[in-house]
Structure formats: C-alpha cells, structure tokens
Amino acid sequence: MKTLQAIRGMPDILPHDTGTWQWLEQRIRSLVQSYGYHEIRMPILEPTALFARSIGEVTDIVEKEMYTFEDRNGDSLTLRPEGTAGCVRAAIQNNLIASPQRLWYQGSMFRHERPQKGRLRQFQQIGLEVFGVATPDADAELIALSARLWHELGVSDVVELQLNSIGSAEARLAYKTALVDYLRAYTADLDEDSQRRLGTNPLRILDSKNARTQELLERAPNLHDFLDVESREDFAALTGYLDSVGVAYRVNPRLVRGLDYYNKTVFEWVTTELGAQGTICAGGRYDGLVQQLGGKATPGVGFAMGLERVLLLLAARGIEAPEANTLAFGVGVGEQGERACFAGVESLRYTMPHAVIQMNSGGGSFKTQLKRADKSGAKVALIWGETEAENNTVTLKFLRSDRPQVTIAASLLPQELERICNTM
C-alpha cells in the first residue's frame, strides 16, 4: 500500500519543535493577558458568506485561496482563512459588543496558496481584536503591545513598523476613481495581476511587487491627498501616541492591506530577514465590519501575527527557547525494585509538580536503563533495586557531575532533589 502523507502545505509539528512553539505561545499569552485581553475560541468552519461579506468577494483570498465545500445539508462552509471575521461573528452572536471588549485568539487558518518558506496552507495565527473604541489610542495600544513583544523576544532591531491611513470609504472611492483613471493609460504596461485588479480591486495594485508597475505608481495620485479630515486627525493622533512611547515607524503610502473591511489606520511589522515573506504581523481599523455583518454600528481594530514566520525570524537570529531539562530518571531493577520505582517516581511528581521526572518503561537490564537515563538528559538517575525496596531507600547516580553515587532514605528524596536543582 502507498504510504499516506500529510497534505502539501499542512506540515506536522514534531516533538522536537513543540517546545519552542509552546515557549513562544506562552510568552505571547502572558503579554496579551497583562494588557487585559481575554481569550475567545471560535470554530474553524464558518458559513462561506461570512468571508465573502467581510473580506470582499473580489479579493484574492475569496476568489482563489479559500477551502470551501458543501456539507450534507447543502450548506456552503469554509475553513477559516483569517480570524477577524469569525471573531466579529461570535461577538455579534453572543452580544459581546454591548460594551468595549479586548479579545484574543489562537489557532489554525487555511488558504490554498503555493507552499513555500513562511507561507503554508495551514498556518497558525494569534490575533487581537478591540471592539467599541473609536479613538486612535486603541490602535496605538495594539501597536505598542506588539512592539513590546519584539523587544522581549530580542528581535526589535530587525523589524520595522510601517503605517498608513486609507481613510473613509468615501475617500477610498474617490481615490480609486483617480487611480483607475491614471492607470488605464498604462494598462498594457501593468503586470497580469494588476491588469485584473484594475477592474476589481484597484487598491491592491499598490501592493504589486512588479518593478514596472511600481515605477508607474511613482507618478500615480497619492492616497493621502484624498483623506478625509477625521482620518487625517486620527492618524496624527496615532503617530503622536507612538512618538510618546518611542515606537519608531515609517509611513508607507502604498500600504493598503488585502482585506476589504479595513478603514483609516493600517499597519504591518516587516523584516528583511525572511526574504519575500517579510510581514510577520499586520492589522488595522475596521469600523464598519460589525454593522456589515449584522450587528449594531461598533468600531473595531485588531491585528494578527503568523507564528511560523515569527519562529523563522527567531531561528534566523539564533534565538532558541530554553530547554525544559529533565531533573531525574527513575530506574527499577527486579520486580520489587520496579514497583518501588513506580511508586517513588509518582510520589515525587505530586511533591515536585513543576519538575520533569521521567521513569523507565518496558523493562531492560540495569545497564540499558542507565543508558536511557543518560539519553534523557536527566541530572540524576534514581535507582530502586531489591535492597532499596526492602529498606525504603533510593540510590542517586549523578549523570552530569563527578559526584559519587549515594543512597539515602526515600523520605529525604524531595529535599535532596531540590538541592540538586539549585546547585547543578
């Protein structure tokens, strides 16, 4: 039979990597909770209409990248390609927007893209959303939080914050008209994607990586010339907040983001350490989305970060998670020794709940068990033989020092292991 493989672009995360994942996730979780954000968990399947109405039917995500199918009832369902729409849906459905909310979530997202380094078909995101705050201090707090994360992870020197304001819907409509009028004269010079977007989603042309298209855009109308007064004032207030806490940024007038629900502020954290997939965190304001999805008019702002890309950045910088070192490894020799080992190790796990204590399983000679103990990385092997079982003692063999082995009363073992923790 043919050996079954994981779906392309949906890799396994193996045990030798999960420790790093858990370390990063815990760092982020602790940080966002310290800012008063509360976790929400949404389903990975949503009605397809949710994403068509929120992200936009003529976006690349909806047109080409979603995993969509009909269930047995004939309902069109989609594996979530991003988290904001589902979070808004949950907030409306469960009346979470009656008062200001700070929410965060974590989980898998799915997009049918060409798999490459930093771009997968199943990828992990952590997202933060704020509902019910219309003022730019909410935007600034989100950005400051993310800046603090990069500082704590040790990557502040290789990430850059890019900011822009895309204004109100009316301002964008006026700008779209001016941009299309300008670009139509150069249609033949545009790359294929930009030609298609000219009649569907012209703002996305600003994101084009094609050198000729970017050259044409140098002479194109400037979005900032079309901004409404409120968007200008909010953007000025936002940059003032960031200046007050020393968060550096670069205004990028071509930053528009690829989702239709954004308005006013948009931002990205980018790095040059990862090649083409340089965006590690992105977001913005979406004041009309809650009402667009059936709720009462409620402002919103948020961001999401791709954990795979953050981990790639940490690896590129040589930053590793601290290892969860094994303190002790239980060895049992003979029938009585094996039972004493089992009982002794399990008792230790109650008295020392934060220590990593492994135990031999599957039998084996004394020599074999000691090899397993050494391979585990444990600092000390705890040995129970027939003599130790009869005398209620345990023998300690030190695996990471020249200290001679010693036999002690089993009742003294927790205190001895605490001393080992503090001295080795």
| pTM recorded for the entire structure | 0.87
pLDDT bin (cut points 50, 70, 90) of residue 258 is: low
The residue-averaged pLDDT of 90-104 equals 93
Q: Check whether 199 has a pLDDT greater than 90.
A: no
Q: Check whether 48 has a pLDDT greater than 80.
A: yes
Q: What Cα–Cα distance (Å) separates residue 332 from each residue in 9, 265, 280, 407?
A: 44, 63, 49, 14
Q: What Cα–Cα distance (Å) separates residue 380 from each residue in 78, 329, 363, 413?
A: 51, 7, 19, 12
Structure token digits, residue 401: 């020092």
Nearest by Cα to 377 from 394, 362, 361, 357? 357
DSSP per position, 274-301: TTT--EEEEEEE-TTHHHHTTS----EE
pLDDT bin (cut points 50, 70, 90) of residue 249 is: very high
Considering only residues 145 and 254, tell me which one the structure prediction assigns the higher pLDDT: 145
> Around Cβ 137, how many Cβ atoms within 10 Å?
13
pLDDT bin (cut points 50, 70, 90) of residue 338 is: very high
pLDDT bin (cut points 50, 70, 90) of residue 209 is: confident
Which domains does the chain show, CATH number per domain? 15-167+227-316 (3.30.930.10), 326-423 (3.40.50.800)
Q: Check whether 381 has a pLDDT greater than 70.
A: yes
Q: Check whether 314 has a pLDDT greater than 70.
A: yes
pLDDT at site 320: 86
The residue-averaged pLDDT of 155-167 equals 95
CA 366 to CA 112: how far, in whole Å? 52
Percent of the chain with pLDDT over 70: 99
Q: Check whether 55 has a pLDDT greater than 90.
A: no
Question: 173-187, 280-294, 305-319: which range is least confident on average?
Answer: 173-187
Structure token digits, residue 329: 């490894």
* 65-89: pLDDT as tens digits: 999 999 999 999 999 999 999 999 9
Count of positions (residues) in the chain: 424
pLDDT bin (cut points 50, 70, 90) of residue 207 is: confident
Q: Check whether 346 has a pLDDT greater than 70.
A: yes
pLDDT bin (cut points 50, 70, 90) of residue 424 is: low
